[in-house]
Structure 1
Amino acid sequence: MHGRILILNGPPRAGKSMLAHAVQAEIPGRWINWGVDAFNATLPPVLLPGIGLRPGGERPDLEPQVAALYAAYFAALAGFARQGFDVVADLGLHRDYAAPLDPMSILRQSLAGLPLVMVGVDCALDIIMARRNADPGGGFYASGPGIPAPVARWQEAVHAGQEYDLRLDMGSLTPAAAAARLARFLGSAPIDCVSPA
């Protein structure tokens, strides 16, 4: 039996990583937590920010490699699921690149026939900025007063045109409460398998 694939899609600092940890702790299964940060930690500096490339077409030189990295990443997720492991992945999927690139079409092709749940992770910008300002990650996260342009781009691009099975507001939900909602969803509805692109 194939494992389930749970994609948590939202902007940085929306609460996806904490939710992924809560899924492992609260929802029965053998959940492998392997999202953007874990994957990018395996990459050499020349390929960074890898699949975390932010919206706005800021690194067109890197975009062909990003498409290949997404293909490799989703193929690995498929491999885990085909071996019977459940996978939770926190990502920031968007289509706002300099050249046409749709990670969702790569996802559909790579995960065809596997059980997938797409979760949109929402969070208000003021909460995201409070989190960024509290922990700017040594400058990795844009912070400061107001809303920096990259943060606004993430908020717009990450959910544009996306379809979800479930939406969770991680500005108002604790990770445990959000995981409980996910558990109820997983227990109450059959999980559709991905159709080929």
Structure 2
Amino acid sequence: MLETGATGPSAIVLNGGSSSGKSSLALALQSELPGSWLRLGIDDFIDALPPRLVGAGGFEVEADGAVTIGPAFTALEQQWQAGVGAMARHGAHLIIEDNFVSGVAAQKRWRKALEGVTTAWIGVRCTPVVAAEREARRGDRIAGMAARQALIVHEGIEYDFTVDTTNADPTTLARSIAHRLAR
């Protein structure tokens, strides 16, 4: 778990389901944390995928919101994670937004990629009902994905601490996280 030095973590991993508030929280953290923090997310990686990997055998979102990933996706994801880890080992401070749809295996891949980097693992929780409401307002997600992921992405994951965005303001949560990490 978190082992901070005098300067705190170099990487913060936010794990939460779709529409849980990870991006809003990450943006608020950039304002609240000392220094300059880059924000990278699973959506950045998915947007960078070759179009042929978005669909069967790569990254696919089913009609009910279930996400399946194939070996080609996982191989590229590990390469991307290794690059992110290298950025942190070269001095970049990173806020990483992810949703561990492959559960414990996803955290293990990130742990390997971030080896040697002081990392804070933060669970970003939100009730399935509120996540689904946010998902509907966004209009860029398949209905059902947020409610499905709200709980399952946390199963078996080890965190330094969790936050709940259901009724909390991102700035207040970011201040709380910054305070906690400074200790």
1:176 paired with 2:171, answer: yes
| Identity across matched positions, percent | 29
Q: Helix, strand or coil: the match of 1:89?
A: strand
> 1:142 — aligned with what?
142
The alpha-carbon distance between structure 1 residues 57 and 68, as it changes in their structure 2 partners (threshold 3 A), is: farther
The alpha-carbon distance between structure 1 residues 86 and 54, as it changes in their structure 2 partners (threshold 3 A), is: farther
1:29 paired with 2:32, answer: no
- Structure 1 CA distance for aligned equivalents of residues 126 and 66 of structure 2: 23
> RMSD in angstroms over aligned alpha carbons?
2.7
The alpha-carbon distance between structure 1 residues 11 and 106, as it changes in their structure 2 partners (threshold 3 A), is: same
- Structure 2 CA distance for aligned equivalents of residues 133 and 186 of structure 1: 33
> 1:79 — aligned with what?
86
> 2:3 — aligned with what?
none
1:18 paired with 2:13, answer: no
> 1:192 — aligned with what?
none
Q: Helix, strand or coil: the match of 2:107?
A: helix
> 2:12 — aligned with what?
6
- Structure 1 CA distance for aligned equivalents of residues 60 and 41 of structure 2: 14
1:48 paired with 2:51, answer: no
Q: Helix, strand or coil: the match of 1:120?
A: strand
* CA contact 1:127–1:171 (8 Å) conserved in 2: yes
* CA contact 1:2–1:83 (8 Å) conserved in 2: no
Q: Helix, strand or coil: the match of 2:101?
A: coil
Q: Helix, strand or coil: the match of 1:102?
A: helix
> 1:106 — aligned with what?
109
- Structure 1 CA distance for aligned equivalents of residues 14 and 59 of structure 2: 14
The alpha-carbon distance between structure 1 residues 133 and 153, as it changes in their structure 2 partners (threshold 3 A), is: closer
Deviations 1:91-148 (A, max 9, x none): 001336xxxx8122222222111101110000112211211222221xxx133xxxx3
Q: State how 1:87-126 maps to structure 2 within 5 Å.
A: 87-95=94-102, 102-126=105-129
Could you list the runs of 5+ residues in structure 2 that have no partner in the other structure?
1-6
Corresponding pairs, count: 174
* CA contact 1:17–1:90 (8 Å) conserved in 2: yes
The one-letter code sitting in structure 2 at the alignment partner of 1:124 is T
> 2:4 — aligned with what?
none
Q: State how 1:178-197 maps to structure 2 within 5 Å.
A: 178-188=173-183
Q: Helix, strand or coil: the match of 1:112?
A: coil
Q: Helix, strand or coil: the match of 2:35?
A: coil
Q: Helix, strand or coil: the match of 2:135?
A: helix
Residue 2 of structure 1 and its aligned partner are, at CA, apart by 9.9
Residue 155 of structure 1 and its aligned partner are, at CA, apart by 2.3
- Structure 2 CA distance for aligned equivalents of residues 183 and 166 of structure 1: 12
